[in-house]
Structure 1
Amino acid sequence: MNKQTSKLAWHYTTGTKFKQIVESGYLDPKKTATPPNEKPILWFSKNQHFEPTAQKAVRLPTGQIENLGMMGTYEMGGGLIRFGYPIAKLTEYKKLCRQAGIAMLDVLSLERVGLSQGAKPTDWMGTLKKIDIQDCIIEVFSGDAWVNVKGGSHNA
């Protein structure tokens, strides 16, 4: 990881959702599912490889839910894309959860689920505001590595 990359947090998404993001021109927290009593959060991670909580899941014929992991999410989601944004412009997650009005029990539940998926809650950051994608570095996962497609060379 180079010095420049370590100053970025990443919003991980799928190729399917990437098309909608490009059409709107923004990463928008209002596009996330949020309970009515909370403000929506646009989540980022300092994890420079992949944020485990960004993985998708499928329901098996048995009714069980199976997490797909990074490669499964890549294969089933039409690819993986990430938007890099300066850490200095984001808010760490506990403060962000307070700003969004998320109850402490729900914050603890987020942490528990994240830890069970291999995430580090200390990597989580975000904002309550939308971000113009022109202000982001954009990278696409090739199946082997992240490849920069917009905004400089920041490959991790």
Structure 2
Amino acid sequence: MLAWHYTTGRKLQHITASGMLIPGGMGTEPSGKPILWFSRNQHWEQTAGKACHDAGQPVRRLTLRETWAESDGLVRYGCDVKRLYAGEALRQKAQMSHEVWAALYAAGKLQQAYPAAWCGSVDSIPVDGLVVDVMSGSFKWERLDAC
């Protein structure tokens, strides 16, 4: 089974040029390690949507279609779930406290996400060998031949 790292079309060129998916910090815990997030959700991970702000404060996450329109499209990278960590193993690898993990889980639930489908890596992953899909204008995932 594949887990997916959902990202925007704006980031495709940078990712392709670097050849890597790189963990990114969320500012949740200065002592922890950044996580490269994936989801076993096979269509879309709601927490991957861009944040919609009002007066500088996040109001909600944009929907898949809104994020697609605002971000030059959507891209996803598929990785075998066996290469990733999930749940408690991921929390420990990221050196994340139980409190921060619980807060992320709760925030995900509020965004209509399914946190039990989350997995990830604290290491960068080369894109060579990953499956790469782009979201078409008819909102269907289409396979890219190669990055």
Count of matched residue pairs: 144
Q: Residues 141 and 88 from structure 1, CA distance in 2 versus in 1: closer, same or farther, beyond 3 angstroms?
A: same
Moved over 6 A (4+): none
2:124 is the counterpart of 1:130: yes
Matched residue type, 1:131:
I
Which is richer in helix?
1
Query: Scaled by the length of structure 2, what TM-score is found?
Result: 0.90
The two structures, once aligned, show a CA RMSD in angstroms of: 1.7
2:13 is the counterpart of 1:24: no
* DSSP-derived class of the 2:38 partner: strand
Among candidates 116, 136, 152, match of residue 110 of structure 2: 116
Query: Scaled by the length of structure 1, what TM-score is found?
Result: 0.85
* DSSP-derived class of the 1:47 partner: coil
Structure 2 segments unaligned to the other structure (5+ residues): none
Aligned match of 2:54: 60
Cα deviation 1:14-46 (Å, max 9, x = unaligned) = 0111221111110011x4444430111111000
The equivalences for 1:1-156 within 5 A come to 7-29=1-23, 31-34=24-27, 35-60=29-54, 65-143=59-137, 144-150=139-145
Q: Residues 78 and 32 from structure 1, CA distance in 2 versus in 1: closer, same or farther, beyond 3 angstroms?
A: farther
Shift of 1:87: 0.8
Cα deviation 1:90-116 (Å, max 9, x = unaligned) = 111321111111111110100111011
Q: Could you tell which deviates more after superposition, 93-102 or 62-71?
A: 62-71
Q: Residues 132 and 142 from structure 1, CA distance in 2 versus in 1: closer, same or farther, beyond 3 angstroms?
A: same
